[in-house]
Structure 1
Amino acid sequence: MELKIATWNIRGANTIDKQNEVRNLIQKEHLCMCAVLETHLKTKTVTDVSNYMFGNWEWISNVDYSPSSCRMVIGWDPNKVRVMVVHMAKQVTRCLVETVVDRSKMFCSFVYANNNGNERRMLWSDLYGHKLISRSHPWVLLGDFNVILKVHEHSAGGSYMTKDMIEFQDCVNKLEVEDICKSGFQFTWTKSLKNPNCDVLKKLDRVMANEDFIKQFGSAHAVFLPYLISDHSPSILTIPEGLVFKPKAFRFMNYTADKDDFIPVVEKGWQLEVIGHHMYRVVRKLKALKKNLNKLNWKNGNVFSRVVDLKEKLSQIQASVDSNPFNKELKADAVKILEEYKVACSDELKVLKKKVRLKWLMDGDKNSKYFHSVLKARKNKSRVESICNDQG
């Protein structure tokens, strides 16, 4: 499974349009972590806006380091990654990111550098401190560095290196990191999106990683997407092997036991010839049976989608019967679809009951919003974060 981390200098998250763009980016790219830079949010608004942008995700901000205008907000999906803040400053936030599935770890430094070269020197110093802490651990730096690294990273080019560029190059050399962006936009910042005569473009945003990160996540790569409504391009870091897939335990949906095909499927699976110890034979048969039971579960497609589709078909055919009450074929089809709809509703309710595990739930009471909140609560409650012995 892929692990995706994004940074985007949205240049003000006070408008609903930009907040929705962040939400769309998270959903479309299937992100598990996202840093929104240059939010311009005040202390009193950062909570409401962050909750809207990230939904059920957890998040942090460095508004305490810049209360007049929050510089960055970082959100993550707690079902996929755990995040611990190691160091936070005005221009950078360093996090230890651990995957929930296989507990692999890496350091992430999210950067929003100051426009002033003198202020950026504090950032270079902080990043060098991050390198000393990382040592032999995977480390990646993402964000807006507000200075180009090479002359050709300006659309107009140039004939000499500025003092700010030289300081940035010295910092990158000391950090021993390299750019891992292989595709997407060449220039990540534009001076103006609205002025058709503007041709000033620069590469101010970067995704860089140390040697240990590249060794552990050899297939990791970054891409810069179109600007959309910001003057900065969002960056997406993709780690293909970031979330290792683990086989799930033997489970099947209870409602399939009421189907006519259930007993024949189980009987056929149990006739499988397996040589070995009794327990080994049982495990092998269950493993083979799991696939067939999943096929039975998905025989008619997604349970919830089937309810919606059959309800629509039932409404349409009942309207046709109303217009042509003497058509026996239409009536027969209406009866058939009605029975299928009732079965699908029953299956849906059984699935929801099993997921939520509420014995007192009344038949027909789906409470969709409540169901989802209970499901999430149960999932988080059953997760084991850590185990300690007597010595802690």
Structure 2
Amino acid sequence: MVSLASWNIRGLNRPLKQMEVRQIVKDSNLSLCAILESHVGIDKLGKVCKSVFRSWDWTSNGACCNKGTRIIVGWNPGIFDVMVLFQSSQVMHLQIYFKLDRRIIFCSIVYAANYYVTRRELWRHLTMHKAAVGNNPWVIFGDFNSALNMEDNSMGSSSVSVGMKEFRDCVDSMEMFDINKSGLHFTWSQKPKEGTGLLKKIDRILGNTPFVTAYPNSVAIFHPYRISDHCPCILKIPEAGKLVDGVFQFQVVKRLRLLKSPFRALLYKQGNLHKKVEALRASLDIIQQRIDLDPFNSDLRAEEAGLNRDFQAAALDEERFLKQKSKVDWLTAGDMNSAYFHSSLKVRNHYSRIDIITDSQGVVHENDAVPHAFVSHYENFLGSQGDILLEFPCNF
């Protein structure tokens, strides 16, 4: 899993905020992090970025800004190669090369202006960049400084502002949409000294169709604000498998072998499913015996409810494991003239038998009379002329 993030932390000169960025990089295992509204002067960028990103590579749009750097991007050079395609005071267009699987995605980091008229330049740049991206995967994330939908404002609104309309028109023209998301809905919190503040969703992670086609399991996560008034926006992208060259049959065999290690790791993580079920069953027996002696103990009731959930989940995992094991056994020995093959046929024949049936007249037929009931039913219309409704309300 590769994780990319943007965070409007509103100033990066303070050591506390630098520490918080390092913490979010560590907690979320980030490989790329964009800091918005950094307020860092060009002469201090090297010192601040070394403190925040350590051994990472970094770049910024400081040369395009009048009052401090607006966007700083740092990345792990062991994971990515990053090329800046275009930058302005409101956006940085990047090309990200994944070293593991040699894939390329286009990524745009946005920190939109506060005034909707000034944002029109950003919408123009994004729309023009769509032509350069073409049918390649493209994601856009950052602070758009504008709500997109009516529900993006906690106070509610009965009208669409000019800024919202222009933002929506830009998103539609780029054919972008929100990546599947979790976490907080409102990404910006107005924090007044007194009273209730306004909440808005103005930070987003957008993607195009080629991106979700290439990475269907990608997800956007919006974390709590912490010391900022904006959410950290994190995009998690599953890593593609290792590249395998050769004829198709060799590729299939090789990729199946590559699955052994992650499957073994998964098995080790899950532990012995059968022993887990047995242990939880025994614990459930004990707690229920204690409840029988002390029926009004709420703590015991709560513990029993938790154990019951864990037991049912473990039992379901065990059932799925046994079903999968049964499929493996069938693939291994199913087509052989063995006792297992004949036993499986007997079971299938048993379940496929119809020993009792009720015809359309309500008459019940059992055992040897069942075939005659079917023959009698179909003789009523097979070979007859005209349109006949095939209806046979039977109870098996």
Q: TM-score, normalised by structure 2?
A: 0.61
Tell me, in whole angstroms, the C-alpha distance in 1 between the residues paired with 2:57 and 2:11: 20
Contact kept in structure 2, 1:181 and 1:206, CA below 8 Å: no
1:25 is aligned to 2:18: no
Q: How does 1:324-343 map to 2 (within 5 A)?
A: none
Separation in structure 2 between the aligned mates of residue 25 and residue 170 of structure 1, nearest angstrom:
33
For residues 8-87 of structure 1, the aligned pairs below 5 Å read: 8-87=7-86
Instruction: Work out which of the residue numbers 210, 213, 223 in structure 2 matches 1:212.
Output: 210
Equivalent residue, structure 1, for 2:143? 144
Distance between the aligned counterparts of 1:61 and 1:30, measured in 2? Answer: 21
User: Cα offset for 1:198?
Assistant: 2.4
Amino acid at match of 1:20: M
Q: Distance in 2 between matches of 1:218 and 1:167?
A: 29
Highest Rg: 1 or 2?
A: 2
CA contact (8 A) 2:5 2:235 kept: yes
Q: Deviations over 1:51-81 (max 9, x none)?
A: 1100000000100001431101000000011
- What is the deviation of 1:43? 1.4
Asked if the contact 2:91–2:112 (Cα under 8 Å) also holds between the matched residues in 1, the reply is: yes
Give the 3-state SS of the residue equivalent to 1:45 in structure 2. Answer: helix
C-alpha distance in structure 2 between counterparts of 1:67 and 1:165, whole Å: 26
User: What amino acid is aligned across from residue 234 of structure 1 in structure 2?
Assistant: P
Question: What is the match of residue 239 of structure 1?
Answer: 237
Q: Percent identity?
A: 39
**Per-residue deviation, 1:245:** 4.7
* SS of 1:14 mapped into structure 2: coil
Aligned equivalents of 1:130 and 1:215: distance in 2? 20
Given the superposition, is the C-alpha separation of residues 196 and 109 from structure 1 closer, same or farther in structure 2, using an over 3 Å criterion?
A: same
2:42 partner letter: T
Measure the CA separation in 2 of the matches of 1:34 and 1:181.
20
**Distance verdict in 2 for CA 1:196–1:246, change over 3 Å:** farther
**Cα deviation per residue 1:249-301 (whole Å; 9 max; x = unaligned)?**
xxxxxxxxxxxxxxxxxxxxxxxxxxxxxxxxxxxxxx9xxx9xxxxxxxxxx
State the AA in 2 paired with 1:225.
H
Worse-superposed segment, 220-229 or 42-51: 42-51
Aligned to 2:161: 162
Which structure 1 residue ranges, 5 or more long, are not aligned?
A: 248-286, 292-392
> What's the CA shift for 1:14?
1.0
Cα contact 1:42–1:67 (8 A) shared by 2:
no
Q: How does 1:304-315 map to 2 (within 5 A)?
A: none
Structure 2 SS opposite 1:13:
coil
Aligned residue for 1:106?
105
Separation (CA, whole Å) in 2 of partners of 1:29 and 1:147: 26
Give the residue type in structure 1 aligned to 2:230. Answer: H
Aligned partner of 1:329 in structure 2 is none
RMSD: 2.1
TM-score by length of 1: 0.61
CA contact (8 A) 1:155 1:199 kept: no
* Contact 1:109 1:141 (C-alpha < 8 Å) held by counterparts: yes
User: What is the rounded CA distance, in whole Å, between the counterparts of 1:67 and 1:185 in structure 2?
Assistant: 32
In the alignment, the residues of structure 1 paired with residue 194 and residue 134 of structure 2 have an alpha-carbon distance, to the nearest angstrom, of 47
Distance 1:22 1:134 in 2: 30
Contact 2:6 2:142 in 1 (8 A): yes
Shift, 1:196, TM fit: 6.5
* Structure 2 gaps, min length 5: 245-256, 262-396
Confirm or deny: 8 A CA contact 1:3 1:241 kept in the other structure: yes
CA deviation after TM superposition for structure 1 residue 199, in Å = 3.0
Alignment of 1:196-275 (within 5 A): 197-242=195-240, 244-245=241-242
CA pair 152-60 structure 1, distance change in 2 beyond 3 A? same
- The verdict on how the C-alpha distance between 1:138 and 1:16 changes in structure 2, with shifts beyond 3 A counting, is same
Aligned to 1:131: 130
- Any conservation in 1 of the 2:180–2:218 contact (CA below 8 Å)? no
SS of residue matched to 2:89: coil
Write out per-residue CA displacement over residues 316-359 of structure 1, whole angstroms, 9 at most, x where no aligned residue: xxxxxxxxxxxxxxxxxxxxxxxxxxxxxxxxxxxxxxxxxxxx
Paired with 1:197 and 1:172, the residues of 2 have a C-alpha distance of 34
Q: Counterparts of 1:235 and 1:196 in 2: how far apart (Å)?
A: 28
Q: Quote the residue 1:299 is aligned against.
A: none
Cα shift at 1:130 = 1.2
- Partners of 2:148 and 2:24 lie apart in 1 by 27
1:43–1:67 CA contact under 8 A, matched in 2: no
1:315 counterpart residue number: none
Say which SS state the counterpart of residue 90 (structure 1) adopts: coil
Q: Which has the higher contact order (CA 8 A, sep 6+)?
A: 1
* Aligned pairs for 1:281-360 within 5 A: none
- The DSSP-based 3-state class of the residue aligned with 2:43 is coil
2:199 maps to a residue whose letter is: L
